[in-house]
Amino acid sequence: MLSVRLICVGKLGEKFWAEAVKEYTKRLAAYCKLEIIELPEQRLPQSPSQGEIGQALDKEAAMIEAKIPQGAAVIALCVEGRLLSSEQLADYLGKLTVSGTSRVCLLIGGSCGMAERIKQRAALRLSMSPMTFRTISRGSWCLSSCTARSISPRAESTTSDMKDCRTKYPIILAHGLGVTDTGGLYVPWGRIPDMLRAHGAAVYLGGQDAWGSIETGAAQLARTVRRAQQETGCARVNIIAHSKGGLEARYLISSMGWGRHVASLSMLSTPNRGSRVAELLLYARPGVAAWARGNDAYWAKHGDKKPDSLRAGEQLTPKYLEQFNRDNPDANCVYYQSWGARLGKSRSDAAMLLTHGLFYPAHGDSDGLVTPDSARWGRWRGVLEGVSHQELVDVSGRDTPYFRACGFYVRLVQELVRMGF
């Protein structure tokens, strides 16, 4: 008979869950010998740094390793794992027994996930199913799997498709460079905040400077996160970020150690690997320093707390982003996903058509400012075709021939709901 050991970080809290586990353990007795080991989750401060989270995961990993039976086939349950049907999982376990394996060890990490060395030890990384299993304890046993339903790259939803957008955690919309929540080069988000609120979402605007550095924008985002937590009573938030806003959110999560306060980060055309347009404008054009001084003076009078145009531009270059990515690794307790965009056949944004045409030889195909390759981070959701960098945030307040902004964002938030975020 197959022996199955389930090792999980954290303890079941509610009595009814414990009774359910007891019942299913009894049912499984005819098919396998099941043993459940619950390990204590490491305590962390309210705003832990990435170093503190890493140390906690290492300690939890050591406890897990001590409980893995020698010779057992290890299966790690994690969000990035494979989705298997019941038949496929049964076939996998059957092949293990045929090959002489009599022991299987299932691993469930804590609220910040599982150390990478434990995942690497696993013969299989498994996501529970296309369904979302909400957290079943106060501490861990987080059987949260990626939902298999994806958002269509065409984003074809209309208002007739819209359903509930009441997420578990409030949503923060973080804008990109050159704008504030009320204006600038363009007004970001357009109809999107009101549409999401009309469908039950708690929506906050990021509140960053138009021309501040990543560090300044991240600190301003932190204040918005704190306000959202205080007003909603939620411990975490979902961040939906456009362009540079995604870099500010990543800095907030990693360098500032706010990963415990962020459940998910969804990025649209964030230049995670830099923008050649920024590089060429900074280093190939005379008079940039003089322009930056004038721009900073203007924005200091129009709402920016700490404008620094040169620094903000430099931080979007590929060279800078190489080091930034090394300094800001992903937090295990945050779900990351991203989309890129390409202008394609779209002719509705004259400004982005101009930048796309001017910089195409050096920059390649893009949304006018950011290439899909640069935007790729975390779970890659694909390329939105026929949409410009600005149209991604509904600057015109109307649908374009290739992109229906409100429908896209409603679908995005609906998916966060299904995933338990």
Q: Confirm if 340 and 214 have CB atoms less than 8 A apart.
A: no
Q: What is the CATH number of domain 2-127?
A: 3.40.1280.10
- Across all residues in the chain, what is the average pLDDT? 83
Query: Which alpha helices (H) appear in 266-386, and where do they start and end?
Result: 276-283, 288-300, 309-314, 318-327, 350-363, 372-375
Binned at pLDDT 50, 70 and 90, residue 358 comes out as low
* Confidence class for position 343, pLDDT limits 50, 70, 90: confident
pLDDT over threshold 50, residue 268: yes
Q: How many residues does the chain have?
A: 421
Contacts of 270 (CB under 8 A, 6+ apart): 241, 242, 243, 244, 245, 246, 247, 338, 370, 375, 377
- Say if CB 415 and CB 131 are below 8 A apart: no
Which pLDDT band, with edges at 50, 70 and 90, does 135 fall under? very low
Closest alpha carbon to 332 in 30, 58, 101: 58
- What's the whole-number mean pLDDT along residues 48-77? 88
Please give the angle made by the CA atoms of 298, 241 and 227, to the nearest 5 degrees.
80
Question: Distance between CA atoms of 189 and 211, rounded to whole angstroms?
Answer: 18
Rg (alpha carbons) of the chain, rounded to whole number: 23
HEC letters along 266-283: EEECCCCCCCHHHHHHHH
326 vs 151: CA distance, rounded Å: 29
- Does 151 have pLDDT greater than 60? no
Strand-strand pairing, 179-180 and 183-184: antiparallel
Band (204; pLDDT cuts 50, 70, 90): very high
Across 20-34, 177-191, 270-284, which has the greatest mean pLDDT? 20-34
Q: Which helix (H) or strand (E) holds 73?
A: strand 73-83
Measured CA to CA, the distance from residue 105 to residue 88 in angstroms comes to 18
**CA 53 from centre of chain:** 18
Assign 10 to helix, strand or coil: coil
Crossing angle of helices 318-327/276-283, nearest 10°? Answer: 120
Domain range list for the chain: 2-127, 159-418
- Residue 142 pLDDT exceeds 70: no
d(CA 36, CA 11): 11
pLDDT beyond 50 at 137? no
Q: State mean pLDDT over 337-343.
A: 91
Domains 2-127 and 159-418 share a fold: no
Evaluate if residue 246 carries a pLDDT over 90.
yes
Of the CATH numbers 3.40.190.150, 3.40.50.170, 3.40.50.1820, 3.40.50.2300, which one belongs to the domain with range 159-418?
Answer: 3.40.50.1820
Is the pLDDT assigned to residue 90 strictly greater than 90?
no
